[in-house]
Structure 1
């Protein structure tokens, strides 16, 4: 299962970022900045919801074929075929520019390699957690913990009950804040969960 996870998307690259920064800190080459690591993770968890709801579920932005292909690859096709692993993970061409942008902004505030790298390691670790939770939600595997089983079910409601609800993949916090949470028994079933903006 772990080997399958590492084969896809940017997971191996993200893992290497986390390991390299951890090695630099452990060796004493860079100082430890746990608050920057946590801030990096928090930045991702905020963007997880906002990207998913407002960018990945956005109507087609243009009639330009290339842009439409990007939108389909980033998310529309994942809803069409939710169990295809090659459509599940964030592609490297999406993750790397976002990490570079985050790193550039961080450099303007904390202009040291150790600070920026620690923040990016936190972001990378959070993306890896997101990718793992998302992976487990879409494969025939029963998570061992009650939280794991619940969050898997939570994400699958988004895919198979109503794509306008339950945008959080790793946690429901922003769904509560942004009013996109509804009790599953009270939510109406959508006919377009597999067909975003066709």
Structure 2
């Protein structure tokens, strides 16, 4: 007997349904539904609330933390120029983290129930509903949790006085990334480079989803050979 294929009911909370898709999940999640109204994730109202984030919460919460980090390094004896250079280096490192996470974690292939469920929460929901404005940026609570291992990693490879500035630069890179990502979906740029970057990112969503993993730039796609074909990424008429 051939098992009947599972069908997701879009009118019901999705998170605990998608795992049942099994090997069908990858195909299903990469068939986008273009609607500004996002689906319901959980039946529980508290869990549902925690999945929704206004884009401006990201700079509002994290830019003061960035300033505090930079101030800490200045108070420990570094000049503004030194802190500025460390901040720029932190942003640069973030761009590599951004690319790595997007390519190797956010686009990991899954087929088991819990792997599908976790992937949907992490990134699959964004590909299924790319215009859901309340799930385009990372929830602050989740970001705060992830900041702990990243802080410890920076502390491991740097000195006590340079750790805050390097971490602050990386955190600023994250803020730029999330705000840029939101703008690429909901903004209407009229000139380059923003216009070209929007085209580049939407190409990743709607045409060739295994290429073009950069959000804030295509630098690492060039370096690692995941640049979309020119006819796909180039300007459209």
TM-score interval, smaller chain: 0.7 to 0.9
C-alpha separation between the residues in 1 aligned to 2:232 and 2:97?
Answer: 27
Does residue 121 of the first structure (1) align with residue 168 of the second (2)? Answer: yes
Does residue 16 of the first structure (1) align with residue 64 of the second (2)? Answer: yes
Which residue number corresponds to residue 193 of structure 1? none
Q: What is the count of residue pairs matched by the alignment?
A: 176
| CA displacement, residues 64-105 of structure 1 (integer Å, 9 cap, x when unaligned) | 3xx543321221000000010222112334423332222112
Does residue 48 of the first structure (1) align with residue 98 of the second (2)? Answer: yes
**For 2:188, what is the secondary structure of its paired residue?**
coil
Which residue number corresponds to residue 138 of structure 1? 185
C-alpha separation between the residues in 2 aligned to 1:61 and 1:133?
Answer: 31
Cα distance, 1:46–1:182 mapped onto 2, change above 3 Å: same
| CA displacement, residues 112-156 of structure 1 (integer Å, 9 cap, x when unaligned) | 2x42111111011111111121011111x3225410111111101
TM-score (norm 2): 0.66
2:72–2:164 CA contact under 8 A, matched in 1: no
Q: Can you give the 5+ residue segments of structure 1 that lack an aligned partner in the other structure?
A: 188-198
Q: Give the CA RMSD over aligned residues.
A: 2.3
C-alpha separation between the residues in 1 aligned to 2:180 and 2:156?
Answer: 32
Based on CA coordinates, which of the two structures has the bigger radius of gyration?
Answer: 2
TM-score (norm 1): 0.77
Which residue number corresponds to residue 37 of structure 1? 87
**For 1:181, what is the secondary structure of its paired residue?**
coil
C-alpha separation between the residues in 2 aligned to 1:128 and 1:145?
Answer: 22
1:73–1:87 CA contact under 8 A, matched in 2: no
**For 1:182, what is the secondary structure of its paired residue?**
coil
C-alpha separation between the residues in 1 aligned to 2:97 and 2:106?
Answer: 11
C-alpha separation between the residues in 2 aligned to 1:186 and 1:89?
Answer: 26
Q: Paired residue for 1:159, among 178, 198, 205?
A: 205
Q: Can you give the 5+ residue segments of structure 2 that lack an aligned partner in the other structure?
A: 1-53
Say which is worse superposed, 173-182 or 47-56, in terms of deviation. 173-182
